[in-house]
Structure 1
Amino acid sequence: MQKILIAGTLFLGAILTFFRAEAQKKDELYTKKYSYQHLSAYQKKLFNTFIENEVPQNKGVEAALTDNISLRSMTRVAQSLLFRNANGDKENAVVILEWILKNQYQDETSKLYGIWKTSVANDRFDQNWREFIGCDLIIIRERFRHLLPSSLVKNIDAGLIHAAKGALARNVGADYTNISIMSAFLMEYVGTTFGLESLKKAGIAKAHEIFNLYKSHKTFSEYNSPTYYGVTLIGLALWRELAPSKEIQTIGGNLEKEFWHEIANLYNPDLKNIPGPHFRGYGMDMTRYFAITGIWIALALDDEHLSPLPPANAPKYGEVSNLSTILNLGLSIPKDDLKALKSFSKPHSIIRNVPNKYKGDSIKLATTVINKDWMMGGLWGNKRVWEQIKAGTIHWKATNGEVAWLAILGDGNTNVKVSQQAMFIYTSSAVAYQLEILVYSPETDEKVFAKQDWTLSGMKLHTRTTLKLIKTEKINHQDADKKYAIADDIPFFYKVVYEVPANWNLNQPLLEITPEK
C-alpha cells in the first residue's frame, strides 16, 4: 500500500509540473454551479423543452417508456426531473429509474455483462452504454439519492458494480477518448465507493494512460469531433467534480482547462462552427444539427443570439439529453476562452500531430486555417474508410447568411492538407478510385461544377486539376445522414465525382482548391 501511495504522489507531482509548464495568463477560470431555480430564461427554455419533448405533460411517464425509447435518454430524463424537482418530478423519476435498472445484462459470463439495453426492442448491444448510463447514475446517486427510496439506491449500486466490472473486462483503450475517460471514472468511483480494490486500481491506471497519451502531443485521439468533444468535456468534468481521489480531480480539472483552450482556438464565433478536419463528425454545420460541443458552448455563452444551437426540431435532438448531465457537473472554463467563444479575434492557423490508431499513420497530421468569414482544414495519414471522418473541409458564410461548406470524407485513399491560401488533395494509394467532393451552397446550380472556377453562394472556389469529372449529382436530406454522416437540416447538397487513375504520382496533388471570398 505504501508503494502505491508513493507512486501516486510521484505521478501527481509529474502532472502538476506538466500543467505548470503549460500554464498561461488565460488560465483564470470562470466557474458556474447550476440549480434549476437560478437558470436563465434561455437555459430554462432549453431544459424544459427537452423534458416536455420526452415526457409530454398530457401523458403519464409510463407512456414514455416504450420499447423503442432510448434508455440513455430516459436516464437523463430522470436526472432532469430530479434536478428540477417540481411537483410530481421525483415520483416520475423513480418510475423511470426502476424501469432502467431492469434492463441491464447481468450475466458475468457474457460479453454484454454490465451494459444496459439501448432500447428494449431492437437493442444494438452497445458496449458504451455501461459508461453512458453508469456515469449518469453516479450523478443521480451523488446529487439526489436523498430524494430516492433506499431500495432504489441499493439497486443503483448493484447496477453500477455490474457496469464497472464489465468495463474492466472490456478494457477500452485510451485512444477511444470519450469512452475511456468515462470508463476510468466509472471504475475508480465504483471501486472506491464499494471497496473493490481491483476496480479502483484499474480506473486510476486508465486515467494515467489517458493523461500520458494526451501529454505526448497535447491533444486527444478523437481530435476535433463536434459531438464527441462534448462527451470528453463531460468525462473530464466528472473527474473534476466526482472522482474520489484528489489525484484524478487534479488531472481532470487541468485537462479540462487545456481542452477548453483547444476548443476556443478552433471555434469560429462568426460562423458558429468548428473547422475540420473532423476525426468524427455527424454533420457539417452545428447550427443545423445538435452537437454536444455546441450544447456546452450555448450554456457557457448563455445568449440565444450567440448560441450555435439549431431549432428544437433539428436533427440529432436527442443529444440535448446531455444538458442535464452538464448542468449537474457545472461549468469551469478559462475566462479568456469564454471571451474567445463570443467574438472572433484574428485569423490564425493550427498544425496538430494527433496520436490515433485508425488505419494509416500512427501520428496523423491535421492542418487548419481560420479566417473571420471562412475556414478550412485537412487530414493527412488516414487510411480508414469511414464517413464520420471529414478529411477535408471548407466552411464559409453564404450570401443569405447561412453556413455553406465543402467536405471530403474519409475514403481511405485521400490525403488533404491546407495552407493559408489553398487546399491540396493527394492520393495515398496506387489504386484507381473515385474522388468525391460534397458541397452545400444555397441557390447554386450544379452546372457551376463543370468549370474550373466554382462560383458559389458567397464564395468562389478556384480549382486546378487534370482529373476527369465523371458526374455531379444531388444528394437529398434523407440519404445524407445514413450514407455520408451529414445530419444537417438542409434540402440537399451536391456530390462532385472525379476519376482518379491508378499509379498517380503520390507527390503530385490530384486537385487544388483556392478560396476567394
Structure 2
Amino acid sequence: MLFARNVLPLALLPGSAWCTTSYVESMPLNAQGLLNESMAWMDNFYDPAAGYLYDVSASSALRHETRSSAWYAVGLLARNEGEDVQEALKILTNVVDGQFKNPEDQWYGNYQKQPEEPMVGSKYYPKNIYNSWDPNWRGFVGTTIIVGLEEFGHLIPENTTAYLLESLHNATVGDSYRVGGVDDDNLYPAYSNPSIMRAFVSGWTGRRLNDSNMTIAGENYAKELVTMFERANTLSEFNSGTYTGVSLWALTLWAKYLPTDSIMGEKAPTMIRHTWESVAQLWNPNLKNVAGPWDRSYGYDMNRYVSLLALHLWNIVGKDKSSLISKPQVMSHSADFAYAPLFAILAEFHSTLVPQAVVSALTNFTGEHTFTSSTFSPPFDVYPRNITAWVDEKITIGAETFNETVIGGPATSRDSFNPALIQWDTGNGIGWITYRTSVPSMIAVASPGQLNLTYPYGTASSTFSLLVSPFAMKKDIVGWEDVQGLNVTVSGNVDSNFTLGYAGAYGGAYSTVNDFEFWNFTYSMPRNFTGLPNLVLHVEPA
C-alpha cells in the first residue's frame, strides 16, 4: 500500500487507534486559514459539469476562467476531501486540453483565458496581446502545474502526469518566442514577475525532461535577472503590492525546487531576504500599507484592494495584521484571492527564508525612519530610478526620481504608476495623495513632512495633478483645508490657484482609477513662466 506524502501518523495513545493528519492540517495555522478561506470562497464558483471555475470576478455572465481554475485545482489536491482529487484532475486536464498547440503561432504553449473564446488569431477574433491572449499565463499556469506535481504527484496518475509534463514542455518552448520589443511583447528581464517564472519553468522542466537546452536556457535567463537584481538588491518591478507578491512567490519556487548548483537555487534565498528587508522598511503596520513609491498598483490603499503581498503577510504575521479585511472577496481586485492556495502551500518553506527582524518590523512599528534605494528597468529607464521614503507613526511619504522613454513607468500605465505618494491615518481610514504622472521624467524626493516634485524638462505649459482620497467625515471639499486628518500647504513656483474636480463611480469630471474615487487638484504654471516647474507639498498630521 502506498502512503501519501505529507500524511503523517499521529502518536498512538493508550486505548486509541492510529489516525492520520491531512496535508492541510499539517500546515502552519496561518497557512491553513488562508487555504481554507480561499477554497471555501472558490467552491461557490466551481462548475463541476464544465470542470472549470466560473470567472471569480463575477462580471462575465457565467463564463469560465482558466488561470483561477488551475489555482483552485491545486488547492483541491491539497485539501483532498471527498471528490476533490477527481475534480482537480478534471480541471487540470481541461486546462491542458485548451492549451494552444500550433508551434507557428506566437501564442504557442499558452493557455486560453476562457474555454468559451473563439480561436485566437482567427478572422473574427484577431490576436491582441494581453487581451485575446496573455503571454504571462504560460508562467502563471506552468508554475501552478509544477507545484501540483511537486507537492501532490502521488495523487496524479501516470498518464495525467505525462500530459502535464508535455504541457510544460510546450509552454516553455512557447515562452522562448518572447523577446522584448518584438511583436508587441514586453518581456525584458526587468519585467520581474513573469521573468522569474519564465526562468523557473524552463529550468525545472528541462531537468525533469532531461532537456539540457531547456535547462541551460532557464539558467542563462536567470543570470540576467540576478545581475540586474544585485545592482542594488532590488526587484526592477519595485514595491508593487501585487507583483512583489508574485515575485516573492516565484523566487520561493527557485529556492525550494531547484538544486543549489542552479543559479536560481543558489541565489533565491538571498534575493528573498533583500526583498523582504525593503518591504519591512516601507511597511507601516499602523496603516497596514507599504509606503510609496509604487511601480505598479491596483489601488491607493491596500486595506481596500486584494494585494498578493497581503497573502504573504497573512502567512507570516496573521490575517489580522495584514491589509486584508475579514472578507477579502468583497475588496477591489478580489479575483487575485484565487491565488491564495498556492501561497498557502509554499508558506511554511517561504517563512524559513524571512529574517526574524523582518517579522518584527511587519508586526510592530519600529519608529520614524527614512529609506533610500534605487532600481533599474531597461530599456525604459535612461538611468536607475532613485527611491526615497519617510515612514512615521501615522504617515508615510514615498517618491522616486525617474527619466524614462515612456509615460507611465516601465509598465507604461498611468493608472498603476505612482512615483510620488503620501498616506496617513485620517482618524477614520487611510487618506492618500498620489501624483498622477503626465511626463516621462521627474525629480521626486520624499523627506520628513515634505514631498518635492520637479520637472527637469518642464515648460510653461506643464501641470501637476494630485489625486486625493475622498473622506468619510468630509464628503464635499473645496481646498486643502478640507483634507481630513492632515495639514497641507503648497509651495514651489506653481500658480497658487488650482483646478479641482471629482472622479466618482456615478459622475464627476473624471473617471475612477482601479475602482478608486478621488479628488483631482491640478496646478499649472504662472503666465510667462520660465525655469524648472516645481511643486512642494508640506504635510503634518492634524
One of 184, 195, 200 as aligned partner of 1:180: 195
Distance 1:433 1:507, change over 3 A: closer
Partner of 2:361: 340
Alignment of 1:29-48 (within 5 A): 35-39=23-27, 43-48=31-36
Shift of the alpha carbon at 1:335?
A: 1.0
Partner of 2:39: 51
Q: Which has the higher contact order (CA 8 A, sep 6+)?
A: 1
* 1:324 matches 2:319: no
User: Is residue 423–residue 433 contact of structure 2 (8 Å, CA) maintained in 1?
Assistant: yes
Alignment of 1:229-268 (within 5 A): 229-247=244-262, 248-268=264-284
Structure 1: how far apart are the matches of 2:216 and 2:528?
51
Identity of aligned residues (%): 21
Distance 1:146 1:408, change over 3 A: same
One of 148, 158, 164 as aligned partner of 2:156: 148
Shift of the alpha carbon at 1:501?
A: 6.4
Shift of the alpha carbon at 1:61?
A: 5.7
User: Is residue 463–residue 512 contact of structure 1 (8 Å, CA) maintained in 2?
Assistant: yes
Structure 1: how far apart are the matches of 2:532 and 2:106?
46
Give per-residue Cα distances to partners, 1:234-272, cap 9 Å, x unaligned.
Answer: 111000111245332121122112211111111111111
SS at match of 2:383: strand
User: Is residue 34–residue 314 contact of structure 2 (8 Å, CA) maintained in 1?
Assistant: no
Alignment of 1:16-35 (within 5 A): 35=23
SS at match of 1:510: strand
Distance 1:408 1:142, change over 3 A: same
SS at match of 2:374: strand
Greater helix share, 1 or 2? Answer: 1
* 1:438 matches 2:467: yes
Distance 1:506 1:457, change over 3 A: same
* 1:467 matches 2:467: no
Alignment of 1:408-487 (within 5 A): 408-412=435-439, 414-431=442-459, 432-442=461-471, 443-444=473-474, 446-449=476-479, 453-465=480-492, 466-467=494-495, 469-477=497-505, 485-487=513-515
* 1:366 matches 2:387: yes
Partner of 1:397: 425
Give per-residue Cα distances to partners, 1:252-296, cap 9 Å, x unaligned.
Answer: 122112211111111111111001111111111111100000110
Alignment of 1:221-300 (within 5 A): 221-247=236-262, 248-300=264-316
Alignment of 1:135-214 (within 5 A): 135-171=143-179, 172-214=187-229
Structure 1: how far apart are the matches of 2:170 and 2:531?
51
Partner of 1:62: 50
User: Is residue 430–residue 503 contact of structure 1 (8 Å, CA) maintained in 2?
Assistant: no
Instruction: Report the AA paired with residue 208 of structure 1.
Output: K
Structure 2: how far apart are the matches of 1:479 and 1:291?
27
User: Is residue 174–residue 180 contact of structure 1 (8 Å, CA) maintained in 2?
Assistant: yes
Shift of the alpha carbon at 1:392?
A: 1.1
Structure 2: how far apart are the matches of 1:352 and 1:121?
46
Distance 1:483 1:232, change over 3 A: farther
Structure 2 gaps, min length 5: 1-21, 55-61, 118-130, 180-186
User: Is residue 415–residue 425 contact of structure 1 (8 Å, CA) maintained in 2?
Assistant: yes
User: Is residue 272–residue 307 contact of structure 1 (8 Å, CA) maintained in 2?
Assistant: yes
Distance 1:433 1:126, change over 3 A: same
Distance 1:163 1:142, change over 3 A: same
SS at match of 1:217: coil
Distance 1:445 1:37, change over 3 A: closer
Partner of 1:305: 320
SS at match of 2:321: coil
Distance 1:242 1:502, change over 3 A: farther
SS at match of 1:97: helix
TM-score, with structure 1 as normaliser: 0.85
Instruction: Report the AA paired with residue 358 of structure 2.
Output: D
User: Is residue 462–residue 515 contact of structure 1 (8 Å, CA) maintained in 2?
Assistant: no
* 1:117 matches 2:115: no
Shift of the alpha carbon at 1:109?
A: 1.3
Structure 2: how far apart are the matches of 1:113 and 1:271?
44
Stretch moving more, 385-394 or 41-50: 41-50
User: Is residue 436–residue 498 contact of structure 1 (8 Å, CA) maintained in 2?
Assistant: yes
Structure 1: how far apart are the matches of 2:207 and 2:469?
51
Structure 2: how far apart are the matches of 1:267 and 1:170?
34
Structure 2: how far apart are the matches of 1:479 and 1:186?
46
One of 510, 518, 531 as aligned partner of 1:493: 518
Structure 1: how far apart are the matches of 2:396 and 2:95?
44
User: Is residue 35–residue 344 contact of structure 2 (8 Å, CA) maintained in 1?
Assistant: no
SS at match of 2:176: helix
One of 70, 73, 76 as aligned partner of 1:75: 70
* 1:104 matches 2:125: no
One of 399, 417, 433 as aligned partner of 1:406: 433
Partner of 2:6: none
Structure 1: how far apart are the matches of 2:322 and 2:215?
39
Structure 1 gaps, min length 5: 1-33
Partner of 2:58: none
Structure 1: how far apart are the matches of 2:422 and 2:226?
32
SS at match of 2:142: helix
User: Is residue 379–residue 391 contact of structure 1 (8 Å, CA) maintained in 2?
Assistant: yes
Shift of the alpha carbon at 1:499?
A: 2.4
Structure 2: how far apart are the matches of 1:130 and 1:359?
24
Give per-residue Cα distances to partners, 1:291-343, cap 9 Å, x unaligned.
Answer: 000110111112x4322113321111121222211222232311111111000
Instruction: Report the AA paired with residue 229 of structure 2.
Output: Y
Stretch moving more, 59-68 or 319-328: 59-68
Shift of the alpha carbon at 1:502?
A: 9.1
TM-score, with structure 2 as normaliser: 0.82
Partner of 2:140: 132
User: Is residue 454–residue 463 contact of structure 1 (8 Å, CA) maintained in 2?
Assistant: no
Q: How many equivalent residue pairs?
A: 475
Distance 1:273 1:195, change over 3 A: same
Instruction: Report the AA paired with residue 198 of structure 1.
Output: N
Structure 1: how far apart are the matches of 2:268 and 2:467?
38
Structure 1: how far apart are the matches of 2:132 and 2:507?
21
Alpha-carbon RMSD: 2.6
Instruction: Report the AA paired with residue 167 of structure 2.
Output: G
Structure 1: how far apart are the matches of 2:338 and 2:369?
34
Shift of the alpha carbon at 1:381?
A: 1.6
Structure 1: how far apart are the matches of 2:140 and 2:175?
11
